[in-house]
Amino acid sequence: MKKQTKSEGARASACICRGAGPALSELLQRLGPPEAARAHFETARLEFLKGLRAVLDARIDRHTKARTRGQAIKVE
């Protein structure tokens, strides 16, 4: 196992954000919508995707449906 020197340990613990990361995360959580709104947005997103799937399924069905060519008429 490799032994860390003091300078390697200092570099590993020094963060560019200087400890602002947790504060920034908390700020973003406070600015975001409440949990009830998040749940609503998630449900709305899923319903939107289901609607797109229904539209695509209808288009696929319309394009893959066998076209009728008409009826044969007996001419006398």
| pTM given for the model | 0.48
pLDDT for 42: 94
Tens digits of residue pLDDT in 18-46: 778 888 888 888 888 888 998 999 999 99
As given in the structure block, the two tokens for residue 37 are 């709104």
User: What span, in angstroms and rounded, lies between the C-alpha atoms of 13 and 6?
Assistant: 11
Higher-confidence residue of 9 and 18: namely 18
Residues 6+ apart with CB under 8 A from 32: 38
Summarize the confidence of residues 47-54 as an average pLDDT.
97
